[in-house]
Structures are given as structure tokens and as C-alpha cells.
């Protein structure tokens, strides 16, 4: 399914929002979100 690629779009949006609130810097790649957890 092509849609599978975007199935987690909402989840990613929410995750980004949470990460921003937590002050965690992240870098968006093609379809993944790489989180730098060294902040913790």
C-alpha cells in the first residue's frame, strides 16, 4: 500500500509536538524522525 508510508503521519506530528515541548532537538529524514536522546 502506498498509504502505509503515511499511516503514522498523525502520530509523527504528535510526537514532534511532544518533543518540542520537552525541548528535544530532532531531525526529520525521509520518513523517520531521529531523536537525540542525549538531552535526557
The confidence score (pLDDT) of residue 4 equals: 60
The confidence score (pLDDT) of residue 7 equals: 59
> How far apart are alpha carbons 8 and 38 in whole angstroms?
25
Domain parsing of the chain, residue ranges: 3-39
pTM for this prediction: 0.34
Torsion region of 19: left, alpha or beta (phi above 0 gives left; psi -120 to 50 gives alpha)? alpha
pLDDT tens by residue, 6-40: 556 787 788 778 777 776 655 554 444 555 555 54
Amino acid at each position: 500500500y502506498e498509504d502505509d508510508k503515511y499511516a503514522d503521519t498523525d502520530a509523527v506530528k504528535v510526537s514532534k509536538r511532544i518533543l518540542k515541548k520537552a525541548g528535544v532537538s530532532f531531525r526529520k529524514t525521509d520518513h523517520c524522525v531521529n531523536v537525540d536522546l542525549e538531552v535526557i
